[in-house]
Structure 1
Amino acid sequence: MRRVCPAAVAAATVSMWAVVVPSELSAQPFEGAVTMRLSGKGANGPQVQEVEYLVRGGRVRVSMGGPAGAMALLSVPQEQKVYVLMAAQNAYMEMPIGDASSSVAAKAPVDAKITRTGRMDRVAGYACEHVTVASAAQTVDICLAKGLGGYVNPLASMQRGSEPAWQRMLTVDGGFPLKVTMPDGSIPLEVVKIEKKRLANDLFSVPLDYTKMEMPRRR
């Protein structure tokens, strides 16, 4: 059986995740948890998983499963770093936010056209505006909300660099996507719960007992 290197898996995940540095905080920045349901087609049929976003003071923690076990992405603008936490290995890796964001910017689609419709909606009790992202392939509707902090796109890691235009444009003007609707009516992304609550500081820092691993060199 071929063994998968946890470091390589995590490095690939970081390089393909859209890391967005939260803009200047408002007077009352959002703090709490956002639960998002991701749906898609897998080798064994439809796949659904939930991703949890924890937001506090400009820091964002995204928790989800992965080939190397439970994994979390921690964006810390104050340190200008992104950390990948790998619970199964009690280990972490880090990279500058600049490197992550620049790699994403290089993939930005040139044919995407963004149109704000002005049509408002409510998803999980939160107001959002429908925005269409049209590319040569298709036109997708994204309902964007303001005031939920920075957004990290976990979907990008699932296509291994071949993600469609709409996934690379999920952070339109700093908005947070609450619902994405495809032309065929399917919903690959939808926020199902938004909770405003106090979160512990240690959720947004690397555990003291974690060992640092170096990022694998790119071929």
Structure 2
Amino acid sequence: MLASWQMREGFLRSGRMATRRGVWVVALALGLAAGASAGEEFEGKLTFEVVSKQAGAQPVAMDYTVKKGLVRMDTKVAGMSNYTIIDPAHKKMSMVMPAQKMVMEMAIGSVEPPAPATAPEIVKTDKTERVTFNVVDATTLTLVKEGEAAGAGAKTYEGQQYAVKVGDRNSEQWIAKDLTLLAGFVETFKAMAQGPNAAWMKRVEWPGFPYRMVTKDAEGNVLSEMTLVAIDTKSPDDTLFTVPDDYKKMTMPQAPPAMPKE
């Protein structure tokens, strides 16, 4: 009995952390639905690396797998991994914790953030760069990082920097307008926006795919960086969007309608 209670409390603590992230995962899924309705549905997997400059923070790997209107987000940090499955058509989100063999199910509704209190200042700078991906196979591209050599047949795209300021928050958005194979994922990526800047980021019309976002404080110090590191256009297996039958299920309240403030 005690073990069961401890397991439940541990799951709920994990669930509360997952819920915070889950709110913007819901937005991502609904953004995907909007892109799909426009006839630009993306199918495959994108891998991002998130690096925080906060003391003690470890890099986070995030996989976004998309198929037939379903979205799966895998989060890997410090050797631990969890994943979330979003089903917009059935307004359902499942946060899965394999180590505990548990799944937390939650109904989802509208997560449209409120209009921004401060209008953003968006400036196209004179900074450009070349971003290169190695061709691993017929469906997979991986980012050539600084200091690495590009392989034969590598694909290079033009990146344009946009400087954004909202109140005392600053960021850099790097946009690749010729990364056309991800055209259907642009709305989905925009929907990943979280925190106080979520509203304007969801509404701005970028002229291409934002492959890197750098957030800064008021003094210009880098706080975090999110970078696209791999693209896989292979059709995902349907089983990736299912939960094992033997996992213990718990039901949580509906996800809140507003984006969380960081």
Matched position secondary structure for 1:198: coil
- In structure 2, the partner of 1:180 is 213
- Structure-1 separation of matches of 2:254 and 2:89: 26
Deviations 1:143-164 (A, max 9, x none): 35642263464x95xxxxxx4x
Distance 1:68 1:94 in 2: 24
Cα offset for 1:130?
4.8
Deviation of 1:173 after TM superposition, in Å, equals 4.9
**1:112 Cα offset (Å):** 4.6
Instruction: Determine which structure has more spread, i.e. the larger CA radius of gyration.
Output: 2
Q: Secondary structure at the match of 2:168?
A: coil
Instruction: Compute the RMSD of aligned alpha carbons.
Output: 3.7
Distance 1:65 1:10, change over 3 A: farther
Residue identity (%): 23
Q: How does 1:105-120 map to 2 (within 5 A)?
A: 105=113, 109-113=116-120, 115=122, 117=124
The reply to whether residue 71 of structure 1 matches residue 82 of structure 2 is yes
TM-score between both structures, scaled by the size of structure 2: 0.62
Residue 41 of structure 2, aligned match among 29, 50, 54:
29
| Equivalent residue runs for 1:130-149 within 5 Å | 130-143=161-174, 146-148=183-185
**Alignment correspondent of 1:199:** 236
- Give the Å deviation of 1:167: 6.0
* 2:78 maps to 1:40: no
C-alpha contact (below 8 Å) 1:35/1:192 kept by paired residues = yes
Which stretches in structure 1 are left out of the alignment for 5+ residues? 157-162
Higher alpha-carbon deviation: 29-38 or 185-194: 185-194
2:95 matches 1:88: no
Q: How far apart in 2 are the matches of 1:122 and 1:78?
A: 38
Report the number of matched residues.
204
Q: CA deviation at 1:122?
A: 6.3
Which has the larger share of helix? 2
Query: What is the letter of the counterpart of residue 10 of structure 2?
Result: C
Question: In the alignment, is the contact (CA less than 8 A) between 1:180 and 1:190 conserved in 2?
Answer: yes
Normalised to the residue count of structure 1, the TM-score between the two structures is: 0.72
Matched residue type, 2:250: M
Q: How does 1:150-189 map to 2 (within 5 A)?
A: 150-151=188-189, 153=192, 163=195, 165-166=196-197, 170-173=201-204, 177-183=210-216, 184=220, 186=222, 188-189=225-226
SS at match of 1:6: helix
C-alpha distance 43-141 of structure 1, shift in aligned 2 (>3 A): closer
Residue in 1 that maps onto 2:179: none
125-134 or 57-66, larger mean C-alpha shift: 125-134
Q: Deviation of residue 51 (structure 1)?
A: 1.2
